[in-house]
Amino acid sequence: MKDTILVTRSSMPSLEEFMEEIAPIWESHWLTNMGPEHTKLQEQLQEYLQVEHVDLLTNGHMALELSMQALGLRGEVITTPFTFASTTHAIVRNGLKPVFCDVDPEDFTIDVSKIEDLITERTSAIVPVHVYGNICRIEEIERIAEKYSLKVIYDAAHTFGETYKGRGIGSYGDVSCFSFHATKVFNTIEGGAVCFRDPEFGRKLYNLKNFGIRSQECVEAVGANAKMNEFCAAMGICNLRHIDAEIRKREAVSTHYRERLAGVKGLQLNPVRDDVKCNYGYFPVVFHEEEFGASRDDVFLALKQEGIAARKYFYPITSSFECYRDLYDVDETPVAKYLGDRVLTLPLYADLPPEDADRICDILLRCGSSCG
């Protein structure tokens, strides 16, 4: 039996490099609450992400949840169900109602032609997801948001380091929220960030991540505890030194997959765009069973039997979660439902050897020919 291959593997610096970065923490005894490592990473990320302002949080989920709170959203929020649980939960946990818009069949992002029909007098925001690092139709979203005075909060969890038309992706919308979870292109073990332009929003967010405390004697809002600690920030500082090389290695794996799988009947791959600098975070494949000859679940099982843990990101779509039973109608987003039932995300990380990528492709392609 060959070694198990998981869907991803965290990028890490050498132990020596991390030890060197955390040594001053032992001197200072300053472990959290916006210490020097936090400040240093924040400054470095502002530059790397090409954004006006960035704040660091415990994770991408709290970045979304507290951003919505800081913006004071009310009523309904238009979003997509083809995403991780976090996007929808953040809306619901703010007491807001998610209104699900369908997705584009080619790139899985919000179908902008369907947004306006969903807007009511209760709508306060749009929460589009740059899913798998595929950039949403930004200009059209901006046009709609301006026309109806809506806030735009991008779930940018998958887009670390990406640019669109030469601009850092975090600079679009009112707010963009990143995840720095262990499974992401860039990680701080657990972590997240919010990029924004309005300093007043930034002040509110900063307080909200620290219980809503404005000063020692004034608590101005019902906040949470979502501060990134010094060890996580130190991990980020180390990982940031290697990020460009890591992304290049991911690109090589993605290219390898693409060479083997592009053009195969019944397989749909992520679209490639000239105006986007991509981070190669995920390699989703949609299996159109009728043409390919095998279903997503056939391939999932065949890989599993060989110790390869591809993942069904994002199945089930969030509107069909058990916790939202009877609240939403999945048939209102037929494309999201269709894709959720057919997509499989192949293993992808910087050090995935080409022979493993080949083995994965061999098993996958064999499924198509044997079942078809």
Q: Is 159 in the site for ligand T4K (CB under 6 A)?
A: no
Shortest Cβ 355–ligand T4K spacing (Å):
20
Q: How far is the CB of 134 from ligand T4K (least distance, A)?
A: 11
Please answer whether residues 141 and 112 qualify as being in contact, where contact means their C-beta atoms are separated by less than 8 angstroms. yes
User: What are the CA-CA distances from residue 111 to residues 9, 14, 62, 90, 103 (Å)?
Assistant: 32, 42, 26, 21, 5
Q: List phi, psi (to 5°) of 7.
A: -60, -30
CB-facing half-sphere around the CA of 214: CA atoms within 13 A: 9
Q: What is the token pair recorded at 299?
A: 């391939």
In this structure, what DSSP letter does residue 3 have? P
The binder of ligand T4K chosen from 69, 179, 254, 268 (CB under 6 A)? 179
Chain residues 298-317 in contact with ligand T4K, contact rule CB under 6 A: 309, 313
Please report whether residue 8 would count as binding ligand T4K according to CB under 6 A: yes
Q: Does 224 bind ligand T4K (CB under 6 A)?
A: no
CB under 6 A: which stretch of 35-43, 120-128, 179-187, 196-204 binds ligand T4K? 179-187
Is 59 a binder of ligand T4K (CB under 6 A)?
Answer: yes
Instruction: Pick the binder of ligand T4K from 35, 37, 51, 61 (CB under 6 A).
Output: 61
Stretch that binds ligand T4K, among 54-62, 65-73, 212-220, 323-331 (CB under 6 A): 54-62
Q: Does 7 bind ligand T4K (CB under 6 A)?
A: yes
Tokens 């392609």 identify what position? 365
Rg of the Cα atoms in the chain: 21
Name the residue whose CB lies closest to ligand T4K.
60
Residue with tokens 């060479």: 259
Q: Are 109 and 141 in contact (CB under 8 A)?
A: no
Only segment of 82-90, 103-111, 165-173, 267-275 that touches ligand T4K (CB under 6 A): 82-90
Q: Exactly one of 60, 128, 170, 236 binds ligand T4K (CB under 6 A); which one?
A: 60
Considering CB under 6 A, how many residues would be counted as binding ligand T4K? 23
User: Is residue 281 part of the contact set for ligand T4K (CB under 6 A)?
Assistant: no
The verdict on 12 binding ligand T4K (CB under 6 A) reads: no
| Nearest CA among 187, 188, 207 for reference residue 34 | 207
Residue 221 CA to residue 123 CA, distance in Å, equals 23
Interacting residue with ligand T4K among 69, 79, 83, 295 (CB under 6 A): 83
Q: Is 307 helix (H, G, I), strand (E, B) or coil?
A: coil
Q: Which is nearer to ligand T4K, 89 or 292 (CB)?
A: 89
Output the smallest distance, CB 293 to ligand T4K, in A: 28
- 50, 171, 183, 210: which one contacts ligand T4K (CB under 6 A)? 183
Per DSSP, helices labelled H in the chain are 15-28, 36-48, 60-70, 85-93, 138-148, 199-208, 230-261, 289-292, 296-305, 334-342, 354-371
Question: What span, in angstroms and rounded, lies between the C-alpha atoms of 206 and 16?
Answer: 32
Cα three-residue angle 269-109-283, rounded to 5 degrees: 30
DSSP for residue 361:
H
| Interface positions with ligand T4K (CB under 6 A) | 6-10, 59-61, 83-84, 86-87, 129, 155, 157-158, 179, 181-183, 192, 309, 313
